[in-house]
Amino acid sequence: MITVANRIPVKPEAAKDFEETFRKRLGHVDNFEGFVAFRLLRPSKPEDPYVVLTFWEKEENFRAWTQSDDFKEQHKGSRETAEAVFSGPVKIEIHEVVQESGASLSS
């Protein structure tokens, strides 16, 4: 299993709209092959980025989703949104899950 963490710095005045955008998309990726889970993490300090955290069975599943029509539809107008909402560059990190404890995300 892998995780994909999108670290997104958001302007404080745009935080509610940013969260609402994800609320409206909630569940859209749930049935995509290899998708395991989604989490939107709100920073505890305004200067820290939001983290969009997804879990996938394999990196290939994530890559396939980013090439899908669903992904393209959900990210229409992203450039304009980014300029209005983001306070800096987005950083994407992909990690392999090698250990876990507690609530299992495995399918």
CATH number at residue 21: 3.30.70.100
pLDDT for residue 77: 64
pLDDT above 80 (res 30): yes
Indicate the SS3 state at residue 99: coil
Q: Let me know if residue 100 belongs to a domain.
A: no
10: DSSP letter: B
The first and second tokens of residue 31, run together, are 């049935």
* Domain hosting residue 20, numbered range: 2-95
Other beta carbons less than 10 A from residue 19's beta carbon: 14
Q: Let me know if residue 48 belongs to a domain.
A: yes
Stretch 42-70: mean pLDDT: 95
Q: How many domains does the chain have?
A: 1
Please, which pLDDT band fits residue 67 given cuts at 50, 70 and 90?
Answer: very high
Amino acid at 98: V
pLDDT for residue 102: 84
pLDDT for residue 60: 97
- State pTM to two decimals: 0.86
Please, which pLDDT band fits residue 37 given cuts at 50, 70 and 90?
Answer: very high
